[in-house]
Amino acid sequence: MTLWLQHYQMRKVLITLAILIACIAAMLAAWIFGGRQLSLFIDRFETIEIDSAKVTSIAYDGSGTGGVLIVNKLKLSLNETAPNLAPSIGSSKDNQFALASGGKVFDFGPLASDERLAAAPPAGDDASLATHRSVLSWPIPFNFNFVTGHSPLWKRHVYYQLHWRKSSGATLDMLWRYEQNFYPGEGWGRGFVTRADSTGLVRLEIKP
């Protein structure tokens, strides 16, 4: 009777252990193959701030659509945008550097030069650029570069958010999302890795 009980208890422990291992394996597989989507879901509720700075200058390099918006010294692309976003950049009738989207126009300030679209925040405006990263990174064990042998092991999302509030009360919010790679021995690389239909300018709101 005692041997039977010991055998039963051992079998119960082994079954429990097998179930636990299977659950851990399933969670790891979900993290590897669904980590990006899980990270995006968590980012809706919480991200971690890396840096925040006042905007001292803003400029544009492009033909009016697409191109690059240069905030301080950071170059943020307007070539990759969410499907519902189509910002255009130019100068207004009163010589203001302006952005237009969805029938609304936001003035950054008087043009600082006749040779390029550039401005500095006027007195009374509150403009800042914040950098955030994902709470959750995800592994990419199968992304191996057979040519160079230099492949990232992890990825995470990086967000650049431009918030501009004018003295009149009008506000502009722009949010860019990119991916950032982690390389063994080097750490996290530059946070401007693009992915089709996932990165670039993902939000633009002008109020009122």
**DSSP code string of 117-132:** EEE-PPTT-EEEEEEE
| pLDDT over 90 percentage in the chain | 65
Answer whether residue 25 shows pLDDT above 60.
no
**Cα 158 to Cα 192: distance, rounded to the nearest angstrom:** 8
Query: What mean pLDDT value characterizes the chain?
Result: 87
Choose among 57, 53, 52, 54: nearest CA to 97: 57
pLDDT at 70: 97
**Cα 121 to Cα 140: distance, rounded to the nearest angstrom:** 41
Answer whether residue 142 shows pLDDT above 80.
no
Q: Please state the rounded mean pLDDT for residues 173-201.
A: 93
Answer whether residue 181 shows pLDDT above 80.
yes
- Residues 207 and 170: beta-carbon distance below 8 Å: yes
Q: In this predicted structure, which of 118-122, 124-128, 138-142, 174-178 has the lowest mean pLDDT?
A: 138-142
Q: Please state the rounded mean pLDDT for residues 70-76.
A: 96
Q: In this predicted structure, which of 6-20, 40-54, 182-196 has the lowest mean pLDDT?
A: 6-20
Answer whether residue 156 shows pLDDT above 80.
yes
**Cα 160 to Cα 83: distance, rounded to the nearest angstrom:** 19
Residue-wise pLDDT for 81-126, tens only, equals 998 898 999 998 889 999 999 999 999 999 987 778 999 999 999 9
Let me know how long the chain is: 208
194, β-bridge pairs = none
Answer whether residue 150 shows pLDDT above 70.
no
**Cα 60 to Cα 72: distance, rounded to the nearest angstrom:** 11
Q: Please state the rounded mean pLDDT for residues 25-32.
A: 56
pLDDT at 34: 74
**Cα 118 to Cα 91: distance, rounded to the nearest angstrom:** 10
**Cα 116 to Cα 105: distance, rounded to the nearest angstrom:** 19
Confidence of residue 151 (pLDDT cuts 50, 70, 90): confident
